[in-house]
Structure 1
Amino acid sequence: MRVLVAALVFVMAFAVPAMAQLMLHNGTDAAPGEGGEPAPAGSDAAQEPQKAKPIPMKPPADDSVIGQTLLRDGAVGAIALSRQGKDLAVAKLSLEGEEISKPGEPCHVEVNAGLPIAARFDGRPMGLSRYQVDLQACPFSFDVLEGAILIPKGHACDFAAADCHVDPAGLWGPQGNTISQTRAHEMEQTRLHIETDMRANFRVLLSHAGKDKASIKRIAGEQAGFSSERETLCHSYALESVHGFCALEITRARVLALLAQLGAISNKQDEVRPPPVKKKPRPPSVAAEPAPAPPQ
């Protein structure tokens, strides 16, 4: 009897793990794709991973520049902005340049002498709020950054009465020697984070180009040239090597420009995508009527 009991215990010791293993690999509770049958085509488990999405960024608010005096390259000239209804106004504007009659000799122009000049909102073509200043002697536009404005190239002009040639293009921000070391460290960390977003959004934009070689070349060329363009623009900002304010804001502008391009692409695709074709319902089948019986 003892021999029989021992034999039964020995058999059960091997049978139970084998049954458990059999249930684990062949049980009906196994989820598709997780040890069970392969997921059927068209199911969520069989779908390809979605394409990478751009990392969003909120454009700087106009309030970041209102009530401040901004200097070109953090050193010369002065511009102060105020709120005027839904738009802005240039409350103060002084420009530095060189004499028309004596090139190389510095000159100074007080443009509005305390009289506000309207700055009209002109959309967000590059992701930043853009304003147009219709100054008769020297019209220009600017984009709003975080605590700064960026005036693009192409706005050089002459104030003949003052014998002064000026070029307001560049980054207008806080005076370079007023940026503290603590703030400079914070801006460096912020810039590193924004640069990561920039590279990610660049890859997303590149993926949208598909196999269009011309678009790929253009997008890659713009990104490759960004660092040198940033260096050219920022090298003259006062104490830039100490605080890096200009580099931060120009990088922020680049991220928003990439997002603007992605938005334009999405809108364009929405415009050209044909609307879904609605299938017309099939008419109900009508049973054939029996042929009339021949006359008797």
Structure 2
Amino acid sequence: PAPPAPPKPVVLKTPNDDAVLGQDLQQNGNAGSLRLDRAGGGYTARVTVAGTKVSQPTESCKVALGDGQPLTLADQGKPNGVTQLASAGPACPLRFEILEGSVMVTPLAEAESCVFTASDCATTPKGLWGPGAAALLPRAQEFDSARGVADKAVRENYKVMTQRARREDVRPIVTEQAAFSADREQMCRAYVREGAHGFCHLRFSEARALSLATRLGLSGAAPTASAAPRPAARKRPAPAVEGMNPGFEAGAQDQ
């Protein structure tokens, strides 16, 4: 028998940046607000972060970054395969990665939390900002199918990474892959009704697959055929019982 073909990198479709523009997104689908817009040749963001009061941790609070004015964002290109933007203000600088229908937000400061002393408010804006559960639940089956494609792309690209790496570089790649799975679980468990629709897991996996493809030198490549969702399998009819089905012999010949 011929040896199995070596794994090939899988490229997923790049997210449509325009799809999130003008949309009101929320952290984990239920907190704060984020709205991206174009301004001239760049992007702006209106961000309100939710948190808890420093003096009374049992009470909630909100802070509008930039006093509610649009924040000018620096376009950092696509180092991980998706558009990456950054706010440059001294108060809670953030990185925004545009995914499909959502935005991954990461604080740029060493601490993941942002404390606003004047507002007596501590916030942790890190996470996936996207639609609420009401908009996601009807698409649960679609997300489940797409996640299978994304997870396969992650596995294939990970295999290619390890095969191409030098022996001393394999262990860090394995450690990174293990951290990806743990980080995805930790981040997505906070998304509202995640267990019912799987939206966060899907977007997190897609981002990982695109990042690996970019590191493999496939940035901007056309989506590969293996990344296309598989059509639903057709159910085969139950086999006929000989002697009871007049068309048995003809059906057997067709098979």
TM range (shorter): 0.7 to 0.9
Contact 1:122–1:130 (CA<8 Å) still a contact in 2?
yes
Question: Which residue does 1:184 correspond to in 2?
Answer: 140
Shift of 1:113: 5.5
Deviations 1:26-76 (A, max 9, x none): xxxxxxxxxxxxxxxxxxxxxx99864312223212112101000001110
Choose from 193, 201, 205 the match for 2:149. Answer: 193
Deviations 1:112-134 (A, max 9, x none): 45522111101222222110112
Q: Which moved more, 1:233-242 or 1:50-59?
A: 50-59
- Aligned mates of 1:95, 1:146 — CA distance in 2: 21
Contact 1:96–1:108 (CA<8 Å) still a contact in 2?
yes
Alignment partner of 1:82 is 2:27: no
Question: Which residue does 2:18 correspond to in 1?
Answer: 63
Alignment of 1:201-220 (within 5 A): 201-209=157-165, 212-220=166-174
Specify every segment of 5 or more residues in structure 2 that has no aligned partner in the other structure, as ranges.
Answer: 219-255
Alignment partner of 1:53 is 2:19: no
Q: What TM-score, normalized by structure 2, do the two folds share?
A: 0.77
- Aligned mates of 1:99, 1:51 — CA distance in 2: 54
- Aligned mates of 2:205, 2:5 — CA distance in 1: 28
Contact 1:138–1:155 (CA<8 Å) still a contact in 2?
no
Question: Which residue does 1:139 correspond to in 2?
Answer: 93
Question: Which residue does 1:102 correspond to in 2?
Answer: 56
Question: Which residue does 2:115 correspond to in 1?
Answer: 158
Amino acid at match of 1:231: E
Alignment of 1:12-51 (within 5 A): none
- Aligned mates of 1:185, 1:205 — CA distance in 2: 30
- Aligned mates of 1:201, 1:159 — CA distance in 2: 41
- Aligned mates of 1:214, 1:103 — CA distance in 2: 46
Question: Which residue does 1:251 correspond to in 2?
Answer: 205
Shift of 1:150: 0.6
- Aligned mates of 1:133, 1:155 — CA distance in 2: 15
Shift of 1:149: 0.7
Question: Which residue does 2:242 correspond to in 1?
Answer: none
- Aligned mates of 1:233, 1:114 — CA distance in 2: 27
Shift of 1:155: 4.3
Alignment partner of 1:234 is 2:188: yes
- Aligned mates of 1:168, 1:161 — CA distance in 2: 18
Q: Secondary structure at 2:185's aligned position in 1?
A: helix
Q: 1:58 to 1:102 in 2, by over 3 A?
A: same
Choose from 147, 159, 177 the match for 1:223. Answer: 177
Amino acid at match of 1:176: A
Q: What do you get for the CA RMSD once the two structures are aligned?
A: 2.1
- Aligned mates of 2:155, 2:132 — CA distance in 1: 30
- Aligned mates of 1:107, 1:152 — CA distance in 2: 20
Contact 1:133–1:139 (CA<8 Å) still a contact in 2?
yes
Q: 1:112 to 1:176 in 2, by over 3 A?
A: farther
Contact 2:26–2:129 (CA<8 Å) still a contact in 1?
yes
Contact 2:116–2:122 (CA<8 Å) still a contact in 1?
yes
Contact 1:190–1:248 (CA<8 Å) still a contact in 2?
yes
Deviations 1:104-154 (A, max 9, x none): 431111334552211110122222211011233221111110011111254
Deviations 1:89-116 (A, max 9, x none): 11x3211111122334311113345522
Aligned residues: 213
* Higher helix proportion: 1
Question: Which residue does 1:172 correspond to in 2?
Answer: 129
Contact 1:74–1:174 (CA<8 Å) still a contact in 2?
yes
Contact 2:188–2:201 (CA<8 Å) still a contact in 1?
yes
Q: Secondary structure at 1:180's aligned position in 2?
A: helix
Specify every segment of 5 or more residues in structure 1 that has no aligned partner in the other structure, as ranges.
Answer: 1-47, 265-296
Q: Secondary structure at 1:149's aligned position in 2?
A: strand
